[in-house]
Chain A
């Protein structure tokens, strides 16, 4: 068995991230906004650079060397992504531009087959990208949208899960890890209940895929969505995993080039998986960048990364609790995210003062306005961590928060 302490070498890792040398207002950057987007290692930046300098061509359609090289690299990216989350094959992996697009694809395609009055279940803690698509399609198609409640601790309420998921339910979509509370939801258990009711289970993996080993077969979700940019990859590349038989049945979301097998004047045969869902020229360089990000993460090991995240978040929460009048939201056991408020000082003021110390955190509603209304706050400040962060950076955050308190007069 491995020991509890991580073997991961933060000093070494930090050298791979050029941006960490940035000075902000004359101070060393302390980047604690990883839940919004992660920074990129030079290995990812170089992979994209190398692609454009040496291999750039359109994929699948070109019978020339560059075209073949580009196609090979792009397909390899699907294979690596499949392995990364333990999917059966590259055919289960659809590239999109981000989690939001993956979830919209599902919302449009899956609800097209539902009948009036069918029910969709999400939770109160969903990001707008796993909220608004369902809300809007439910309206358009006369479906019923229901919400699993959260309890005082910030966990999904077990009774509410059982009450909401019933024989009328067709789709359940919940976030794996909350981007505000850090709550790690029991998606495997929810998937079981969902399947007992013959419904489809979707997990929003935007905040879990970057931070823990994911095994889609073990958690047995039907679909899993995540973004490359939150896991060291570039922007513009997202992933939708789906079970094969379900993807086969589904209608494409976008129509056009590349997603077809044969087009006649009166009908079209769609391409094989996953290309049936990848219409038009895709973000090839970004797919290759994601591939490099997955290599980087695999080299360190997702178990190690998860352990390191836990060390950082435990230390951060412990130190935050030392500050008088600071409220922390969310459960004790959490992902690498912590939301808080400092007395009645608005999170924007907190964030702006931290910025003057070179510290980047997030302040606002974090694209979770319904959750904010449940928490009864207009906004929170949020610090989120990743493998290159250090305890020393957390100490800087704490000192800066003391400075905020002092400026606001206590």
Chain B
């Protein structure tokens, strides 16, 4: 397998073409949108956080390069059911391990958009929303 086939390996392309947990949660606890103007990569994340501060449900919506979107899709599978404390502890290394591909510094930014969006959603939850559970329609 040469370099490029490993970057765009089957699993990555599969998540890009058929993103998991794609869509919206109308009454999500927290909804957050991030945009990387340099690439034009966009990601929205909806989290439903339960009383134990676990992620009861997650949905994403976005567009951009394969690496950014596949990374977001894979991350939804990883965070579902997890406590937000665990998500807060996740770092670059976890994303790299999850993707399992070598990335140049430029492409690393694409890969990390998902983690930034998820973590910032949690910051917003803890700082402003505070109360878990369903919210009014948005």
Q: A344-376: contact bitstring with B at CB < 8 Å (1 yes, 0 no)?
A: 111011001101100000001100010010000
Contacts of B4 in A (CB 8 A): 25, 352-353, 355-356
Complex A-B: 20 CB contacts under 8 Å:
A25-B4, A344-B63, A346-B41, A346-B64, A346-B65, A348-B39, A348-B106, A349-B8, A352-B4, A356-B2, A356-B4, A364-B39, A369-B37, A372-B40, A378-B40, A379-B40, A407-B8, A408-B13, A408-B66, A409-B13
Interface size class, chain B: 20 to 34
- Near B by CB (< 8 A), chain A positions 375-410 give 377-379, 407-409
Contact B7 A352 (CB under 8 A): yes
Return A325 CB to nearest CB of chain B, in Å.
Answer: 15
Return A41 CB to nearest CB of chain B, in Å.
Answer: 29
Q: Which residue of B lies closest to A408 (CB)?
A: B13
Contacts of A349 in B (CB 8 A): 8, 65-67
In the complex, A103→B94 CA distance in Å? 45
Return A367 CB to nearest CB of chain B, in Å.
Answer: 11
A348 and B3 in contact (CB under 8 A), knowing A353-B8, A379-B40?
Answer: no
Q: Which residue of A lies closest to B6 (CB)?
A: A356
Q: By DSSP majority rule, is chain A's interface helix, strand, loop, or mixed?
A: mixed
Contact B107 A352 (CB under 8 A): yes
Interface size class, chain A: 20 to 34
Contact A25 B2 (CB under 8 A): yes
In the complex, A407→B4 CA distance in Å? 10
* A349, A355, A372 interface centre (most CB from chain B within 10 Å): A349
In the complex, A408→B14 CA distance in Å? 9
In the complex, A356→B104 CA distance in Å? 13
Contact A346 B17 (CB under 8 A): no
Q: Which residue of B lies closest to A377 (CB)?
A: B40
Q: Which residue of B lies closest to A26 (CB)?
A: B2
In the complex, A125→B1 CA distance in Å? 42
Q: Which residue of A lies closest to B106 (CB)?
A: A348
- Near A by CB (< 8 A), chain B positions 1-55 give 2-4, 7-8, 13, 17, 37-41
Contacts of B66 in A (CB 8 A): 345-346, 349, 408
In the complex, A372→B7 CA distance in Å? 27
* A344, A348, A355, A369 interface centre (most CB from chain B within 10 Å): A348
Contact A379 B2 (CB under 8 A): no
Contacts of A408 in B (CB 8 A): 13, 17, 66
Q: Which residue of A lies closest to B36 (CB)?
A: A378
In the complex, A377→B67 CA distance in Å? 18
Return A397 CB to nearest CB of chain B, in Å.
Answer: 15
Contacts of A377 in B (CB 8 A): 40
Contacts of B7 in A (CB 8 A): 352
Return B113 CB to nearest CB of chain A, in Å.
Answer: 12
In the complex, A212→B64 CA distance in Å? 37
Other-chain contact of B39, A345, A346, A353, A407 (Cβ < 8 Å): A346
Contact B38 A364 (CB under 8 A): yes
Contact A25 B13 (CB under 8 A): no
Other-chain contact of B107, A348, A364, A369, A379 (Cβ < 8 Å): A348
Q: A308-341: contact bitstring with B at CB < 8 Å (1 yes, 0 no)?
A: 0000000000000000000000000000000000
